[in-house]
Amino acid sequence: MALQPRLMLPTTALALVLLGLLWNSLVPATVSAQGKLLQWDSCSPGTRVKNFACTSNEGFNDLFATFYMTSLRDGITGFFAELEFGGGDRHSDGSLSGPDFDPLPSFWHLQSPEGCRTGAQTILIGPAPSGCVDPYAGQYATPSIFMTYPYIPSAGATPRLLVQVAASWPERSMCCSEFYAFHVRVSNVRATGEGACEGCCQPMTAWLKTMYLTRSNGTTLGLATDRTVVAWNESASPLCGVTTARNATWGMIKGLYR
């Protein structure tokens, strides 16, 4: 059964915009006592690079957004996050490691209604995988989601897919664990054969560029950047064969985590 994207109502879209505007005014200076994480398959350490041969339209891949706390914080009620999908290889801060020339392959055009693979993704809230604390306590609700393509973050940049997600859980104090926030389930439909979308074998990077926590007192808590970039079919993927040469490879990125 094809997965259907969950699109927010206009009022929810407005709420997300307002949350984004509040970011600059309400988020205190970010400290290293908490951070955000992105990985394939599970909670940390998860998988940093996902290689797929693109020879089947069956199955799916899960991309998990989590965060950790090393000091006690109270009154936490939810989160707001921005996830960016772009073509090519990147550094750990989300910037491209070479010239910004790699367009996002149509295989990753997941937006509705005009994307090549509309319906191939679902933003899920729960259940949390083993290894993470589940802040929702089983009270899962449909997240607020807004997808933008083309998203061009700066002059001269190639278009990206921007996914904004917000969700809430029962108010709670948090400390000393890795916590689950949400995950993106991406199916393998239209990877190969008649009607396939171009670019399944090409490199793609996903970057968790923003995540902050909402609090019951109306403030927000910023999360430091940690491991927030993952790759799909790195330039030297042995499964898809030889791909177009680039000025830099994911090996540059992997070196940052050794």
Instruction: Note the pLDDT tens digit of each residue in 7-18.
Output: 343 444 444 434
- The pLDDT score that the predictor gives to residue 26 is 42
Classify residue 186: in a domain, yes or no.
Answer: yes
Classify residue 4: in a domain, yes or no.
Answer: no
Q: What range does the domain containing 82 cover? A: 10-19+31-257
Residue 107, helix vs strand vs coil: helix
Alpha-carbon distance 204 to 219, whole Å?
Answer: 34
What tokens were used for 182? 């949400």
Residue 2, helix vs strand vs coil: coil
CATH number for the domain harbouring residue 217: 2.60.40.680
Other C-beta atoms within 10 Å of 133: how many?
A: 18
Classify residue 151: in a domain, yes or no.
Answer: yes
Question: Which amino acid is present at 35?
Answer: G
Classify residue 220: in a domain, yes or no.
Answer: yes
Classify residue 89: in a domain, yes or no.
Answer: yes
Question: Which amino acid is present at 153?
Answer: P
- The pLDDT score that the predictor gives to residue 100 is 45
pLDDT digits (tens, 9 = 90+) for 103-121: 788 999 988 778 899 888 8
Alpha-carbon distance 67 to 177, whole Å?
Answer: 8
Classify residue 153: in a domain, yes or no.
Answer: yes
Other C-beta atoms within 10 Å of 80: how many?
A: 22
Can you tell me the mean pLDDT for 223-232? 86
> What Cα–Cα distance (Å) separates residue 232 from each residue in 3, 8, 13, 221, 251?
20, 27, 29, 30, 13
pLDDT digits (tens, 9 = 90+) for 127-137: 898 889 999 98
pLDDT digits (tens, 9 = 90+) for 183-193: 999 999 999 99
Query: Do 141 and 167 touch, CB atoms closer than 8 A?
Result: yes
What tokens were used for 39? 């990985």
Alpha-carbon distance 39 to 83, whole Å?
Answer: 12
Query: Do 204 and 86 touch, CB atoms closer than 8 A?
Result: yes
What is the total count of domains within the chain?
A: 1
Q: What DSSP character marks residue 133?
A: B
Query: Do 38 and 208 touch, CB atoms closer than 8 A?
Result: yes
Classify residue 25: in a domain, yes or no.
Answer: no
- The alpha carbon of residue 7 and the mean position of all alpha carbons in its chain are separated, in whole angstroms, by 16
Q: Give the CA dihedral 49, 51, 57, 59, nearest 10 degrees.
A: -50
Burial class (CB in 10 A: 0-12, 13-18, 19+), 179: buried
List, as one string, the DSSP characters of 22-36. HHHHHPPPP-TTEEE
Classify residue 127: in a domain, yes or no.
Answer: yes
- Which strands form 224-225's sheet, in the order they lie side by side? 121-124, 177-187, 60-69, 34-40, 224-225
**Residue of 235, 219, 208 whose CA lies nearest to 67:** 208
- The pLDDT score that the predictor gives to residue 146 is 93
Percent of the chain with pLDDT over 90: 45
Query: Do 178 and 44 touch, CB atoms closer than 8 A?
Result: yes
